[in-house]
Structure 1
């Protein structure tokens, strides 16, 4: 994956840094485009990656934006995205953020509670506007992913309880609200697609109920959650969009002029990004071999948060022997560890390390903890 000429260029750069292979991104976006039907719409989940260069490529493929804050909306508008292609989700929208979305005429709000719906109605009235909304339902589906990225079970804070659906017909009395959609999102990094089959069945039941109550739904937003291969990324650089999208296109019973919306993030950008780091120290402590890198949880927090696994490669070692290492960063936290007992070629101070599958939830979740500097990003077409 990393040709020798590219590694030579890496050697001349200050580490750590993010590296984005735009060819992988463009191939995956074309893969996505070829998997869609005319009645499908994809909004990119911008929380997964806010990098302007990445977003410019995504914009060229005519994707919309799934935003979860007013600042994300503002960021994308400044980059040239049309407000009518921006959807505003998120469980805790402030009044000021709601105002911002209304004033900028975004496509629609994904509403997470009956109370939020009334707040949006009240703010819309202040501006003499009728605001389009989709109602997020919590379908109580266990999504077989890490508990901390599961978002559609009865234990989770997201969406409206299935038992409260009977309240929806009464909401038509809200004069400044136009309910046109249903929204779901059951979790992230889901590999087994069975929970999505379950979601189709529940969606159909809810749609039947709404039809019986003469509520016209234009779009069903099924969220995202399609996982990527963190263990063997080079074997699965392109996501299985066709199977995922066909599952919903075949499983949800649509009326004429209804559409299915998706909010995809990780599955689009995950495999195009890498965190390139340098080994500061190699040491043995008791029975453990440690590699201390110059990048840490401030650059990639997922392993510390979710115990997530990323492939790690030594790009410059000439050694053929292998050892098991705990690969850690410089941050003053024991959780600042990328991998434990990870099998690598024998590694020494100064070797370049690549952590794979960092295109999603790496740069966008980075911080300045320990007052560490922000790091640079480089791209395959300009490096």
Structure 2
């Protein structure tokens, strides 16, 4: 962004004017940055599946569908969104540890690319429905390798106390069982966590993959995703190209011939979006200034849920403040930040908010879900309208 005496500009759009036209807070996506991220992803010689749970805005899903045509889902609601935007049948992987009978049945009827199973009980459900309705489907087995992804404890998924995947002991039992059931297994699935910033956990994972690969050379190997993004901007982490160059080295080292699947969510949209909000008012006691924003944990939950950091900037600056809070009636409705100069009604920007932010938003405190807009060819396009009161109450009877 560029600030001068005429305003604050992003791709020739004056954000001051947005404040005059639309209610704040709101999400702003940068189309040029989205296309740049797509370019880097397309350079990978892997099967890329987009994790819908990271961002399920219909406009953005249409962009993904047009270029990549592959999705990873965890609910039937996500599946319906893909059906809504797709003119022809895309590749769909159904992940998640709690699939219902109805979700499995719909997947069977649509003959999706694969159901990624996470328990022995789940394979019995699939087998029962396959026989009852005389349908076939491919499955991949999600492994819990008991490997620490060295990320936040609430987004690690591959250690033994996590609910995800099948451990190595039960894997042997499952493969023995499937020799009787005879469901087509097309690959293994590993997803050890999100926001991974080091290669060392993946080295451990590939060592385990090699041991499994000696016994069962399946057609596909899903190595998960989870590459971290730089929320801090000034912090050094492994970059996208180096991360996947290291993975390629591991694939060559262990002579893995399977087709490689990666599941990307956070990386695709995280750094292409900001939230524009403003200061409601400033209060202070003898020790601290408290900056109360019009943006709350209902709009961006990650700071309250994970104590996660988002870079914050202020414009139209005034006094120093120590703490930033939202308007929600919870003490946890606060944001991590350095001290910033602020005054009443000044604009506040939150960075890296394109993934796992709007999808986690809620109507807590009976708040409306906020606008999403995109800067597309130097014009503003609304891609999610501000909710109204009728939307909040329409399902009550």
TM-score by length of 1: 0.91
Cα separation, 2, equivalents of 1:144 and 1:239: 13
User: CA shift at 1:203, angstroms?
Assistant: 0.9
Which position in structure 1 is the counterpart of 2:326? 329
User: CA shift at 1:222, angstroms?
Assistant: 0.7
Cα separation, 2, equivalents of 1:347 and 1:255: 55
Cα separation, 2, equivalents of 1:286 and 1:217: 66
Cα separation, 1, equivalents of 2:263 and 2:283: 44
Corresponding position: 1:366 with 2:361? yes
User: CA shift at 1:248, angstroms?
Assistant: 2.5
Q: Structure 1: which 5+ runs fail to align?
A: 211-215
User: CA shift at 1:249, angstroms?
Assistant: 2.6
CA contact (8 A) 1:83 1:105 kept: no
Q: How does 1:155-194 map to 2 (within 5 A)?
A: 155-175=161-181, 177-194=183-200
Corresponding position: 1:278 with 2:286? no
Cα separation, 2, equivalents of 1:82 and 1:66: 17
Q: 2:27 aligns with which of 18, 34, 37?
A: 18
1:267-308 per-residue CA deviation (whole Å, 9 max, x = no partner) reads 111101111111101111341211111110001000000000
Cα separation, 1, equivalents of 2:17 and 2:32: 18
Cα separation, 1, equivalents of 2:37 and 2:284: 41
Cα separation, 1, equivalents of 2:289 and 2:130: 60
Q: 1:69 aligns with which of 66, 75, 100?
A: 75
Cα separation, partners in 2 of 1:74 and 1:338, compared to 1, 3 Å: same
Cα separation, 1, equivalents of 2:218 and 2:128: 22
Which position in structure 1 is the counterpart of 2:304? 304
CA contact (8 A) 2:270 2:354 kept: yes
| Root mean square deviation of aligned Cα | 2.0
TM-score by length of 2: 0.88
Q: Moved runs in structure 1, 4+ residues, more than 6 A?
A: none
Cα separation, 2, equivalents of 1:172 and 1:263: 26
Cα separation, partners in 2 of 1:22 and 1:299, compared to 1, 3 Å: same
Tell me the secondary structure at the aligned position of residue 332 of structure 1.
coil
Which position in structure 2 is the counterpart of 1:225? 226
Which position in structure 1 is the counterpart of 2:242? 243
Q: Structure 2: which 5+ runs fail to align?
A: 3-7, 381-397
User: CA shift at 1:239, angstroms?
Assistant: 8.6
User: CA shift at 1:379, angstroms?
Assistant: 0.5
Q: How does 1:103-122 map to 2 (within 5 A)?
A: 103-122=109-128
Cα separation, 2, equivalents of 1:379 and 1:204: 44
CA contact (8 A) 2:323 2:339 kept: no
CA contact (8 A) 1:249 1:260 kept: no
Q: 2:375 aligns with which of 356, 365, 380?
A: 380
Cα separation, 1, equivalents of 2:295 and 2:265: 24
Cα separation, partners in 2 of 1:191 and 1:81, compared to 1, 3 Å: farther
1:139-197 per-residue CA deviation (whole Å, 9 max, x = no partner) reads 10011111110100011010001222222431333546211110011011111121111
Cα separation, 1, equivalents of 2:182 and 2:134: 8
CA contact (8 A) 2:321 2:342 kept: no
Cα separation, 2, equivalents of 1:124 and 1:142: 35
Cα separation, 1, equivalents of 2:238 and 2:99: 31
Q: 1:9 aligns with which of 8, 14, 17?
A: 17
Comparing 245-254 with 83-92, greater Cα deviation is found at 245-254
User: CA shift at 1:80, angstroms?
Assistant: 1.1
Q: How does 1:46-65 map to 2 (within 5 A)?
A: 46-65=52-71
CA contact (8 A) 2:109 2:135 kept: no
Corresponding position: 1:30 with 2:30? no
Which position in structure 1 is the counterpart of 2:350? 355
Which position in structure 2 is the counterpart of 1:213? none
Higher relative contact order (CA 8 A, sep 6+): 1
